[in-house]
Amino acid sequence: MHPIVRSFALSAAIALCAPFASATVLNFDDIIGPDDYAAVPAGYGGLDWSNSGFSVITSESWPFTAHSGQGRVTTDWIDGGPVDSTIRFLGPTVFEGAWFAGYADSSVHFDLYAGGRLVASSASLQLSASPAFLDAGWDGAVDTVVVSSGFQASYVMDDLRFESAAEVPEPGALALVLAGLGLGGAVRLRRSR
């Protein structure tokens, strides 16, 4: 393989993989409370959990299976119906999704907001005792995620994935980088002949 082509391929691979290298995963394993139950601290993981209603559990409890480690979050028991749990990001963020397990007669979904406006809703995930990943279904920047379920305390959430939108290149910027690399490679190839 020509050295210029190899250099171009390596640069393109690095540029394309960069957004995936910086994802943050919150697994809640570092929050331990008395009796294996604790409130999620308001600023945990650099997010605002103050209106989420989430608590961390670390003890084994069927069907609330952890995806990794022992820590996972669940909603509090509140009288009055379905629970919507709000998680706020401190800046524009690309929210990827999370792992869920719970009672088979319940489901969960995400509503994603940017600037107070609903920008997307995920598909609904039917729960089971085996953890499954719920993809957010949106790759744009958001500042708030609302986790919704039809029943209170019917699920656990684990391994919440997100990354700062500042770290994700815009598609147009990535296209310009690749075009520039291609043009530079063509010019260099022409000069070497």
Residue 14 within a domain: no
Residue 82 has pLDDT above 90, yes or no: no
pTM: 0.75
Residue 78 within a domain: yes
How many whole angstroms separate alpha carbon 44 and alpha carbon 165? 19
Residue 187 within a domain: no
Residue 151 within a domain: yes
Tokens of 98: 């999370």
Q: What is the pLDDT of residues 22-52, one digit of tens each?
A: 799 999 999 987 778 888 999 999 999 998 8
Residue 191 within a domain: no
- The total number of residues shown for the chain amounts to 193
77-81 long-range contacts (CB < 8 A, ≥24 apart) are 77/152, 77/153, 78/53, 78/152, 81/152
Q: What is the pLDDT of residues 173-184, one digit of tens each?
A: 556 666 666 666
Taking residue 90's Cβ as centre, other Cβ atoms within 10 Å add up to: 11
Residue 185 within a domain: no
Q: What is the CATH number of the domain that holds 156?
A: 2.60.120
Count how many domains the chain has: 1
Structural domain for 88, as ranges: 23-170
How many whole angstroms separate alpha carbon 158 and alpha carbon 174? 32
